[in-house]
Structure 1
Amino acid sequence: MAKNEKPQIYVQRRGNYLVPEMATDADLIQRLPIGQRIKVTVSEGRSPAKLRLYWSYLGRIVKACECAPSPEALHDVVKLHTGFVTPVLVKGFTVAVPKSISFASMSESEFDDFLATAEKWLVQTYGISIKDAFTEAAA
């Protein structure tokens, strides 16, 4: 976190109220001065667990199929084949540049859409769903 960057506070909506998600969020809220006007910028929080699941899924496909040198390489292939790219014109040729799936680049619902599209392509191409990847590993 940059020196001038304020820590993020995560809350969940309960009726018409925003409730701290974790104890650390409640602690940060307690530090705010009572009665002071506070600016809140609303954005969806991303799920680190879901992102870890995606990377683990890619890792298991790479291990099972030896289809790429790394999960990162397979990730780029997934983005290219699913159209998750930005077309860039270079010397008269259009080049597909893979987009980012970073927390800053997309919302949780956008990541959900990307994950569903990625899984569909991975199942069609390698025959391994997320469920299969983790069921077979447990067996």
Structure 2
Amino acid sequence: MAKKSEKPVYSFIRKGNGLFPEMAYDLRALDGVANGQRVRLDIREWRNLDRLKAYWSLLHDAVEATGKTLSAEKLHEVIKLETGLVDLIRLPNGMTVAIPASVALDKMSEPEFIAYFQSAEEWLARVYGFVSEREQAA
């Protein structure tokens, strides 16, 4: 089966009660739309990539500081399970299992990721006694 092509993503900036294209690429999204024509929008906030990088840095720092045998990637999966960031899957035999959910940019909103990041920091502090330098400075 052929993979479904993804729709392009356009970026607009709110100014007062109007939305304005961020770049020329985004402006071209309006080609063919007449003035006064009604259109459908899917409003989503952009995720903060610096926060995502800080999260992965936290995981690598925790692995290094605690000397645990888990990699940052495995620790990521464990934290998702332990903090309840899971998808529940019903198996053919009727049993339900929890698998780690995704924190991918298109799977989680920024407020959801902020809450998850905080719960991950709390879990690392409670279970491993690890507090990031950022948290120590606060």
Equivalents in 2 of 1:30, 1:96: separation in Å? Answer: 43
- Structure 1 alignment gaps of length 5 or more: none
Number of the residue aligned with 1:109:
111
Equivalents in 1 of 2:4, 2:23: separation in Å? Answer: 22
Amino acid at match of 2:9: Q
What is the number of equivalent residue pairs in this alignment?
130
TM-score when normalising by structure 2: 0.75
Number of the residue aligned with 1:74:
75
1:68 and 1:74 in contact (8 A); partners too: no
- Establish whether residue 27 from structure 1 lines up as the match of residue 24 from structure 2: yes
- Structure 2 alignment gaps of length 5 or more: none
Q: Percent of counterpart pairs with the same letter? A: 36
Query: What are the residue-to-residue correspondences of 1:1-139 with 2, within 5 Å?
Result: 4-20=5-21, 25-31=22-28, 32-33=30-31, 36=34, 37=37, 38-90=39-91, 91=93, 93-132=95-134
Equivalents in 1 of 2:4, 2:107: separation in Å? Answer: 22
Deviation of the 1:93 alpha carbon: 4.8
